[in-house]
């Protein structure tokens, strides 16, 4: 199983030191091994797994809990789970490395600018995977400016779920401004929910921020992303009709994920303040921004390129700051 996961395994009767115990990417023990480790007084650690052919006795549970065992795996039925967990350990970026966070971006109404804002988030994240989850959109690579670059798009990616290594995925995708981009491309086509799950999980294991641009309708792909998201961003212009639409979108999105907030985009033709918009939509205000001069012309010719002091960059940084206060899930379960 370790060979299938691509990890080197060291067989020992017990750890030679506390440093060895904590430095290993993962530790796999049987129940007897767990008892020996507990007797040595070893500290709790992440990625500690018990493999066994029968369920542990009730008397063993206090020992397993004290050690911090993350999961008990029954063999041979859960061979695949062992491979998956060891693969997670192999792809982790050092001891105690956290998984990358997931941001879902959705428009509160048509033309809200969610795709542009998702692209801004990816450019400001300092290492990101930008995922185009709208099969009927024009392709997010047009917004990022990667439409002419070599690399895979959704129609080229043969995934029906399962796992994909982040290093391999990153190498296969076009990238710009520190963000890898997976777009539907110009051909379009259906996006599979299981494949989206595999891609998002790969980015998380790689430790990058995963930004997903979602269509404004419930479907299996949207539900998959919402269930994985650490933060959901609803984007809306500051006018009455857009607020009404955003309130309806926020209602069904919040049922899938409670970590949801609002970004308000100017101008405000009727003088609505961002706080008034947030109160009307019923979401906490994450950021507001004034119109960005020359944005439409920039998108037509070269794709989005943010200046540090641009309204889009400022709003994206404020959202990312909020995200950093939302603890992302660490480790595999």
Rounded CA-CA distance 311/291 in Å is 7
Rounded CA-CA distance 231/238 in Å is 21
DSSP code for 206: T
pLDDT digits (tens, 9 = 90+) for 19-51: 788 778 899 999 999 999 988 888 888 789 999
**What per-residue confidence (pLDDT) applies to 331?**
30
Count Cα neighbours of 101 within 13 Å in the Cβ-side half-sphere: 20
Q: Can you list the domains of the chain with their CATH numbers? A: 2-91 (no CATH), 102-323 (3.40.50.300)
CB 245 within 8 A of CB 262: no
pLDDT digits (tens, 9 = 90+) for 140-155: 999 999 988 889 998 8
pTM exceeds 0.85, yes or no:
no
Give the total residue count for the chain. 333
| DSSP state letters, 64-102 | HHHHT--EEEETTTTHHHHHHHHHHHHHS-STTPPPPPE
Q: Kindly list the distances between the CA atom of residue 88 and the CA atoms of 64, 99, 105, 106, 138, in Å, as whole numbers in the listed order.
A: 21, 10, 26, 29, 34
Q: Name residue 289's beta-bridge partners.
A: 265
pLDDT digits (tens, 9 = 90+) for 5-18: 778 888 888 888 88
Residue 124 has pLDDT above 50, yes or no: yes
**What per-residue confidence (pLDDT) applies to 100?**
87
**pLDDT band at residue 160 under the 50/70/90 scheme:** low
Which residue blocks in the chain are alpha helix, DSSP H? 2-5, 18-23, 31-39, 61-67, 79-91, 114-124, 141-144, 166-172, 193-205, 220-228, 240-256, 274-281, 295-301, 311-323
Look at 159-168, 169-178, 211-220, 303-312 and tell me which has the smallest mean pLDDT. 159-168
Question: What is the mean pLDDT of the segment spanning 159-165?
Answer: 70
């Amino acid at each position: 199983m370790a060979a299938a996961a691509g990890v080197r395994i060291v067989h020992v009767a017990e750890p030679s030191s506390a440093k060895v115990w904590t430095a290993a990417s993962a530790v796999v023990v049987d129940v007897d091994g767990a008892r020996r480790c507990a007797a040595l007084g070893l500290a709790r650690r992440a990625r500690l797994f018990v493999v066994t052919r029968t369920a542990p006795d009730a008397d063993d549970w206090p020992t397993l809990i004290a050690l911090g065992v993350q999961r008990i795996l029954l063999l041979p039925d859960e061979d695949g789970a062992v491979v998956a967990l060891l693969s997670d350990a192999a792809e982790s970026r050092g001891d105690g490395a956290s998984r990358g966070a997931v941001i879902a971006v959705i428009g509160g109404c048509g033309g809200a600018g969610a795709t542009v804002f998702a692209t801004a988030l990816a450019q400001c994240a300092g290492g990101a995977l930008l995922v185009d989850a709208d099969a009927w959109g024009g392709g997010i690579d047009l917004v990022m400016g990667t439409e002419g670059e070599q690399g895979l798009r959704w129609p080229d990616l043969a995934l029906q779920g399962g796992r994909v290594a982040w290093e391999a995925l990153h190498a296969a995708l076009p990238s710009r401004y520190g963000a890898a981009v997976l777009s539907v491309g110009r051909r379009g086509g259906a996006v599979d929910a299981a494949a989206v799950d595999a891609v998002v999980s790969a980015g998380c294991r790689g430790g990058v921020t995963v930004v997903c641009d979602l269509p404004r309708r419930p479907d299996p792909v949207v539900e998959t992303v919402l269930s994985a998201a650490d933060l959901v961003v609803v984007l809306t212009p500051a006018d009455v009709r857009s607020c009404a639409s955003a309130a309806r979108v926020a209602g069904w999105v919040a049922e899938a994920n409670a970590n949801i907030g609002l970004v308000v985009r100017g101008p405000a033709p009727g003088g609505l303040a961002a706080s008034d918009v947030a109160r009307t939509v019923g979401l906490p205000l994450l950021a507001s921004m004034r119109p960005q001069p020359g944005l439409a012309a920039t998108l037509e010719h070269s794709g989005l390129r943010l200046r540090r002091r641009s309204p889009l960059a400022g709003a994206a940084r404020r959202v990312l700051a909020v995200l950093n206060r939302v603890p992302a899930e660490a480790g595999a379960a």
